[in-house]
Structure 1
């Protein structure tokens, strides 16, 4: 495959010492908002999530032989199941389910290693994967807009917050297009700093928590099985959370396809999908064992790669190391937490669309005929359910299938039962370096 001509650093290129820290810090900023939002919504410790995301990323890089520049952060797809599991079995029960979800990844990776990937791609052809990628990008659009408008978490609409988000977004566009030299590779970081400065000027930054925070603090690690309610079966927790992994694997494949397109390498072939799925699974198991949420490759960081054209695994590893350190530094963690939510909303708006556009590209390059009624019905169902926020809930506080998971499940089922499976696109195109 022809590599992108405008790449700044290739996968194994080590950045100069003067820029190494800034490039890694940019990735840390990009993932920070979403990574800590998941534990906040699920009742876990954000500092633990930072540590486990960094540790999980290093594990992932090791299992993928340091050939795949992807950052692993907290997975939004598991929010519903973890909340439900916590209500039924306590935090310990939710973590047992999270570890089991990682074990599902490992099992699927071993099957891919033994039988290849084509059986999986037959289940997940372009007509399923393409719309799922769009859902990955746009399914959380409401979260990004909610952060931008101060409505995330039930807050009231705030015009100043939204204007700050738009200013942050506009500065990222400006820096990406106008700046030259080194500054062309850190537009996201510069945008965040610009938004933060504006937030300080307009009194939207609270330095009180920063002043009160200790310099060092121990994250609230929650070891496996501790805090699990008495009388609750571990198998019940596993059945509640683990099945979601079968769906998030589709998200994982979509992320690998996007990353392959952005970087210009066929990562599904080399280092291999089995390695990336295995690494993701082990990272999720480690996160669950320490009290963190399940891990997933982060669209925000893929977006940073797409914008900056810096593909170095050294930079990703640096960001992971910074995240681990940050989890123990109370002052620094409090400082990053002081970044206005609106600023991170503006950044998220800038990055999520990159993923959705890659889903459309998958449909095009997979030669999916949307004039075919079958394909039109499958894609429209996935998009409406995923972006519309539909979900399945069984019982009062029981099993919950999130909208992202449900949309992927519907796509798989419809592709399997509707006549004319051969019209769902060229799955081999996903494996071909000429199409990725």
Structure 2
């Protein structure tokens, strides 16, 4: 009943704002363009079905709005943080293993939602502070650098042109165009590749206009180890989720952490990710690109995002779109991910800087250093029949170190005369 009441309120607000059906559709299309490039990029990189990814993106968004009582104008698309683990899981355990890991990641969200509802958001912030989240996000970006190199090497000129277009749009464009550099980079790079004779349009011409996406339910047997590769990343993307929810709240001037509550937004994200895994799509996450559209248009009605989700679901049934996405040359995606993976690593750095993480403190320095090396070295650890490695293991190591290392360091006034004498001797020898 609450969601119906909120929907009625949203419709009334549309009338007050003078938004006609025509304008409502245009605003929804803008949001679709903002999410489209990033959402189809993840399946293009991981080998998943792009039509399924579009479907689960729209479905996940509608689920999120249902769980959050239609109050949060957020769109959910494919998450970049899971790219590396999905690729690794598929190489070792096949697609079923990757999907099982994605389903489990959704369950981790749901479990954490219940914990936050009982204990409050302070527990969540203590478990995953910036000193842990920052280096893990950095490893997500840097750990994928070899993948970017291999993809771009397919045709360096095409990759360079694609990258140049995306960078140019990101730096010099204005208005709505500025928030879709990935989409425009892919379109520009694809056109250049087609002009160079690198694209075969035959599959697109032979494809039907309408067809059901090829959904794929995961098989559980023999794939349990894949859980440990993918599920731990959910601990990191939860912080990304919190940041997006806060950003949306700041944009629309509402506190969504309080109402409908962080536990509800996390639950919505978790159920959406679980559903994505069951249908054969990539994990979902709240999209910063669509927050940018909200800021540009100054129109915050959740009904617009819900209409966007419906349009995206309908688009997923257009088979020619899915086939067209598959014809994009690897080098085009290689040019895009050079920017994208670097941006992910930069977000990790920004997390440390903006939260004033003091690396002059040994505790913080140790946590960041060890987490970075564990994540980038692809170290693996077997425990209870499961295998933890890469970014997932880095997240676990960072969390454990943050919980067990004392936060209070010795104050300078407490340093003994003997320690001062030793420090003086070391400085003298160094000079």
TM-score by length of 1: 0.73
How far apart are 1:180 and its partner, in Å?
4.7
The Cα RMSD (Å) is 3.6
Relative distance call for 1:269 and 1:383 in structure 2 (3 A) is farther
How far apart are 1:331 and its partner, in Å?
1.1
Relative distance call for 1:63 and 1:175 in structure 2 (3 A) is same
Contact 1:77 1:402 in 2 (8 A): no
Aligned to 1:418: 405
Aligned to 2:193: 199
Determine the C-alpha separation between the residues in 2 that align with 1:263 and 1:296.
20
Q: Is residue 380 of structure 2 the alignment partner of residue 392 of structure 1?
A: yes
Determine the C-alpha separation between the residues in 2 that align with 1:303 and 1:361.
17
Q: Deviations over 1:135-166 (max 9, x none)?
A: 3444334333433x1xxxxxxx33xx222222
Aligned to 1:344: 333
Relative distance call for 1:96 and 1:257 in structure 2 (3 A) is closer
Larger radius of gyration: 2
How far apart are 1:21 and its partner, in Å?
2.2
Determine the C-alpha separation between the residues in 2 that align with 1:422 and 1:306.
40
Q: How does 1:134-173 map to 2 (within 5 A)?
A: 134-147=138-151, 149=152, 157-158=153-154, 161-173=155-167
Relative distance call for 1:322 and 1:105 in structure 2 (3 A) is same
Determine the C-alpha separation between the residues in 2 that align with 1:102 and 1:351.
24
Secondary structure at the residue paired with 1:400? strand
Contact 2:40 2:53 in 1 (8 A): no
Contact 1:415 1:421 in 2 (8 A): no
Q: Deviations over 1:170-200 (max 9, x none)?
A: 2233334444555445444333322122111
Aligned to 1:28: 36
Relative distance call for 1:197 and 1:185 in structure 2 (3 A) is same
Secondary structure at the residue paired with 1:214? coil
Alignment: residue pair count: 381
Q: Is residue 129 of structure 2 the alignment partner of residue 125 of structure 1?
A: yes
How far apart are 1:375 and its partner, in Å?
1.1
How far apart are 1:128 and its partner, in Å?
0.8
Unaligned runs of 5+ in 1: 1-11, 150-156, 424-436
Relative distance call for 1:168 and 1:260 in structure 2 (3 A) is farther
Contact 2:137 2:347 in 1 (8 A): yes
How far apart are 1:355 and its partner, in Å?
3.8
Aligned to 1:72: 77
Relative distance call for 1:392 and 1:113 in structure 2 (3 A) is same
Unaligned runs of 5+ in 2: 1-13, 411-431
